Chains A and B, each alone.
Chain A
């Protein structure tokens, strides 16, 4: 019997493949999944070009590090030029003050070949210095963790699962083609499992590919020795963790939206409710936090996301800090929640009727 069920599940997955992977209606899922890859890539290309540009200028106008260290605020423009030479970039502006006096504002840019130094003069006096270091790997990891947890998991994977899993049943109801499955000697539970695996295959392939490409695009800007060192250290574990979290997000959200597509005629409202619940997670008391998928997914992320510095203090007060769940507990809870939802969905599937007229 098990062999028959497996055969039937594989047949359902094959039939669903075209719909889940190549459906025109699902193009936006790819856009959602791969938009961050494009952004990371653009950022990496920009930073690499900028680095090359600075190195070239540094080679053409060499300035020693000691000379940069000697520049302090209060120096005159002539003094700075005397110590560092002519800047590689400058801009001058004039403003009339309230007293009618004409004032000059000058910005000079120098480089040591790696870092960018900006000197700001007001009436030829150096008023402030800004040193822009190239992006560090630790910074990039933090940016990746933040965008992964706040954009990728909460929006891209979430809505991607809505788009793919909801359509597995609801889409066929609208196309009036669901009955073909119902005319075969296949248990409804087996049909549900087949459709779930079809959706899972599509979402896991799309979103883990995106995670891997984002990771690659993020690292691309760094020089080879930095990458080699990172990959010899925590890199592979972090990479595997991100892929695992992405796959688990598809497992969990997939089951929820499969059930939503099966139960609700209009899945938009329940999807919005789930989104609201997941978004409200930081403000929920610790016990309720543990009833949302995002809590466990975030617990499994290898780097903690950066806190929002611009958050109003009042909202900051409402955030309830909770210890992340242990890895094993988080995985177990996601799997158990998924199984529970699938069992409930299969009970609904058993009573499913073909009633296209009213759908």
Chain B
């Protein structure tokens, strides 16, 4: 097993009967990896699993060869900025980072030096003496980032790190990720908007409903998604005519009439073109009563992630 990878082998995590993530198998090389999916997709669960904040119900995780069950070894190498927006009470930004570093066992002088350096790095030098409780959302985001970066880790795991940042700070933060990645480190970033991270990512892991639905370099993820057939259920009064019209299209793979004769189940490789066809048919006299995506498919997830491209509805 390579020691420069983050590997998840058939990892599942359930919260009672609720699924967190299921059968996730990943191998993440150094560079920037984006974990993308809508809310509830399992991104945070996956990150918490990698950092040992929660344990897998099944499967095995290794971060650079280390088990997350050994935090005393793992966190020398890993920095994790969580999404939890709560801080120890009564501490200033500097005190927060300083106290955090003291827990690593560094000397006072070293903690002071590292804290000042990282606070400067995230652009919070002016606010370092103020209480974290009085910080704006963006500043709290940055101090969390500083806490993850403070001990100069080889693996950075950042849960929605760009949330709440203004454009200038966002650009600086992205540059920081790039710099870390070019140094051969792992930068694992989660986001629910693919546009936000696809330009900076070396690889993307697309998640939905606790499953990894696609992974790889961004170009291959795009083509993988586009090649996935998608099922659409159309309720109408002339299902036979609709099925025959649909089947004339090269992107329609299958048209299945419903037994009760109230509609047709279409399987297509290009949902957008099919929706345009439905519009056309509706204008030409086919009475369409309803259209429903019939499966929780990759394409719908992808549509959501890239910002919800509007579908043409009949």
Binding site for B on A (CB under 8 A): 4, 7-8, 11-12, 14-15, 18-19, 175-177, 179-188, 351, 353-356, 358
Contacts and interface: CB of A to CB of B under 8 A. Distances in A.
5 contacts: A177-B87, A182-B52, A183-B100, A183-B147, A185-B71
A356 B84 contact: yes
A129 B142 CA distance: 81
B54 A8 contact: no
Contact of A11 (B55, B71, B79, B99): B99
B84 A186 contact: no
Interface residues of B, number: 31
Q: Is the interface of A mostly helix, strand, loop or mixed?
A: helix
Contact of A180 (B73, B100, B104): B100
B73, B74, B80, B102 — most chain A CB neighbours (10 Å): B102
B303 to A, nearest CB: 28
Contact of B100 (A184, A354, A358): A184
Nearest to B90: A18
Contact of B54 (A14, A19, A180, A353): A353
B53 A182 contact: yes
B76 interface: yes
A185 B104 contact: yes
Contact of A8 (B51, B76, B105): B105
A176 B84 contact: yes
A331 to B, nearest CB: 33
Contacts of B73: 185
A186 B72 CA distance: 5
A355 B72 contact: no
B76 to A, nearest CB: 5
Interface string B17-55: 000000000000000000000000000000010011111
B94 to A, nearest CB: 14
B89 interface: yes
Contacts of B54: 353-355
Given A8-B105, A18-B90, A185 B15 contact: no
Contacts of A18: 89-90
Given A18-B89, A354-B53, A179 B75 contact: no
Contacts of A356: 84
Given A15-B99, A176-B84, A183-B82, 13 more contacts: A11-B102, A14-B102, A15-B88, A19-B89, A177-B84, A177-B86, A177-B87, A183-B75, A183-B148, A185-B73, A185-B104, A187-B72, A354-B53
Interface string B95-114: 00001101111000000000
A4 B84 CA distance: 28
Given A15-B88, A183-B147, A188-B71, A351 B55 contact: yes
Contacts of B72: 185-187
Nearest to B80: A183
A25 to B, nearest CB: 11
Nearest to A184: B103
Q: Which 3 A-B pairs have the closest CB atoms?
A: A176-B86, A11-B102, A185-B75
Given A7-B105, A14-B99, A188-B71, A183 B88 contact: no
Nearest to A15: B99
A181 B48 contact: no
A182 B86 contact: no
B88 A177 contact: yes
Interface in B51-92: 51-55, 71-76, 79-80, 82, 84-90
Nearest to A357: B15
A262 to B, nearest CB: 16
A4 B53 contact: no
B88 A180 contact: yes
Nearest to B69: A350
A87 B135 CA distance: 74
B53 A181 contact: no
Contacts of A181: 103
Contacts of B148: 183
